[in-house]
């Protein structure tokens, strides 16, 4: 977990702790971002030098006092799942509640803004697959997210192997859709007749606009809108008024919405619109359609994401400038060229510092008990076995379940 680029800065000031401040065993290192009623920090375990995590602090408020409590509950239910945000610690102080989780990288909204263009199909279809995997795990734990959007999908780390994987964050709006009866059996939670708005109107389904109960299909519709936004943009992206957005969603034909995108996304979207609150999505069907697009477009899971292309380009330039500078220092005849090399290095210094300041070791991810009880294949298998991306061995991440068939 880290800052969310789609969260707005609150109009009233929120108390921010300074670096060095201690909260139980955690030392504040840096401010990562502000949310509606709280703050996210990078923290370090004072008893384990170099072990960093993310701390979300939520100040007491009548409106938001249960949001963090919900997140803790949801993440605790998924603590043994693979490739999900891991809760490390939580606690209550006099004026605030806090939760500590694994430290992630950047969210997709921030990455989309960084490269200043839409994602290509190679990136978008892998984003769809990882998001499907994350939502299926959440749904199998008995919850709907209710706020799927680019800002709530993050790279699992800033660098290293985990930077290739995506995880869902921000479960404060999640809601359980299952109940456990006196006989111990799970059953579907009854729909409420009318509910308040939950979610982000840019990406939400029509059910949200109609104020009806959200089901698993609504999360997946938001996932598809997210993919369209990240690639081509949504026709209503610039609108703010909910009624105007709802009207444009109704009037925009699917053939227009998915123009120039893999046709499989349109097929998935049309299927999702047929689902009701009580319907369990056919995750295998959706997975097969995404994989059909991946195979048809010859997408390799080891291909760089578009934001990685930008990073690689910058790193290559920096390496080249470094090499030239060293050569020029060893040869007095190259003084003029050396000056140009130094100038080039300085011009890229800000970007390089920003890339390096969040560097954390791969071992920071708390995965000691990860493999004990989970029967799902990991999304990481798709990358580690990328050469077999077409094989049925990867079907397990979507088709194998460990819960009831609600």
Do 127 and 183 belong to one domain? Answer: yes
Do 216 and 232 belong to one domain? Answer: yes
Question: Of 89, 107, 147, 218, which one is the catalytic site residue?
Answer: 147
Q: Is residue 262 one of the residues assigned to a domain?
A: yes
Q: Is residue 164 one of the residues assigned to a domain?
A: yes
Do 126 and 267 belong to one domain? Answer: yes
Which of 124-138, 167-181, 375-389 is the least confident region?
Answer: 375-389
Residue pair 211/194 in contact by the 8 Å Cβ criterion? yes
pTM higher than 0.75, yes or no? yes
Structure confidence by residue, pLDDT tens digits, 47-59: 999 999 999 999 8
Cα 216 to Cα 177: distance, rounded to the nearest angstrom: 9
What is the model's pLDDT at position 281? 98
Annotation says 45 is catalytic? no
Q: Which tokens hold the place of 154?
A: 């993050």
What is the model's pLDDT at position 194? 85
Task: Find residue 28's DSSP bridge partners.
Answer: 43
Q: Burial, 159: exposed, middle or buried (Cβ in 10 Å; 0-12, 13-18, 19+)?
A: middle
Which of 155-164, 280-289, 360-369 is the least confident region?
Answer: 360-369
Instruction: Answer whether residue 357 shows pLDDT above 80.
Output: no
Do 86 and 115 belong to one domain? Answer: no
Residue 38: CATH number of its domain = 3.30.200.20
Compute the average pLDDT of residues 111-125. 96
Higher pLDDT, 119 or 366: 119
Which of the listed residues 271, 306, 341 is the one where a domain comes to its end?
A: 306
Structure confidence by residue, pLDDT tens digits, 248-297: 999 999 999 999 999 999 999 999 999 999 999 999 999 999 999 999 99
Structure confidence by residue, pLDDT tens digits, 216-236: 999 999 999 999 999 999 999
Number of domains in the chain: 2
Domain that holds residue 77: 21-102
């Amino acid at each position: 977990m880290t800052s969310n680029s789609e969260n707005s800065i609150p109009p009233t000031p929120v108390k921010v702790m300074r670096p060095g401040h201690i909260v139980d065993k955690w030392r504040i290192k840096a401010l990562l971002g502000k949310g509606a009623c709280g703050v996210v920090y990078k923290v370090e375990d004072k008893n384990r030098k170099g072990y960093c995590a993310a701390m979300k602090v939520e100040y007491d408020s009548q409106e938001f006092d249960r949001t963090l409590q919900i997140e803790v509950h949801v993440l605790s239910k998924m603590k043994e799942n693979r490739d999900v945000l891991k809760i490390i610690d939580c606690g209550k102080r006099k004026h605030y509640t806090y939760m500590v989780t694994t430290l992630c990288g950047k969210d997709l909204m921030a990455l989309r803004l960084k490269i200043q263009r839409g994602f290509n199909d190679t990136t978008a279809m892998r984003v769809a697959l990882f998001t499907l995997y994350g939502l299926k795990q959440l749904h199998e734990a008995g919850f709907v997210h209710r706020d799927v959007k680019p800002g709530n999908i993050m790279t699992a780390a800033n660098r290293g192997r985990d930077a290739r994987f995506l995880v869902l964050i921000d479960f404060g709006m999640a809601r359980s859709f299952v109940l456990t009866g006196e006989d111990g059996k799970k059953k579907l939670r009854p729909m409420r007749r009318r509910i308040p708005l939950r979610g982000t109107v840019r990406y939400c389904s029509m059910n949200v606009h109609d104020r009806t109960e959200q089901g698993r299909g609504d999360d997946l519709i938001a996932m598809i809108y997210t993919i369209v936004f990240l690639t081509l943009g949504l026709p209503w992206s610039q609108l703010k008024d909910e009624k105007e957005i709802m009207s444009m969603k109704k009037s925009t034909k699917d053939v227009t919405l998915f123009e120039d995108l893999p046709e499989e996304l349109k097929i998935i979207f049309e299927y999702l619109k047929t689902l009701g609150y009580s319907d369990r999505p056919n995750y295998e069907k959706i997975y097969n359609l995404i994989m059909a697009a991946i195979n048809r477009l010859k997408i390799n899971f080891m291909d760089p994401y578009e934001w990685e292309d930008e990073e690689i380009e910058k790193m290559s330039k920096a390496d080249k400038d470094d090499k030239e500078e060293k050569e020029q220092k060893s040869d007095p005849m190259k003084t003029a060229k050396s000056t140009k090399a130094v100038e080039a290095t300085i011009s890229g210094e800000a970007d390089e510092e920003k890339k390096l300041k969040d560097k954390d070791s791969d071992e920071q991810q708390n995965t000691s008990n990860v493999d004990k009880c989970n029967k799902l294949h990991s999304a990481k298998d798709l990358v580690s076995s990328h050469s077999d991306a077409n094989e049925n061995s990867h079907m397990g991440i979507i088709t194998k379940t460990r819960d009831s068939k609600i």
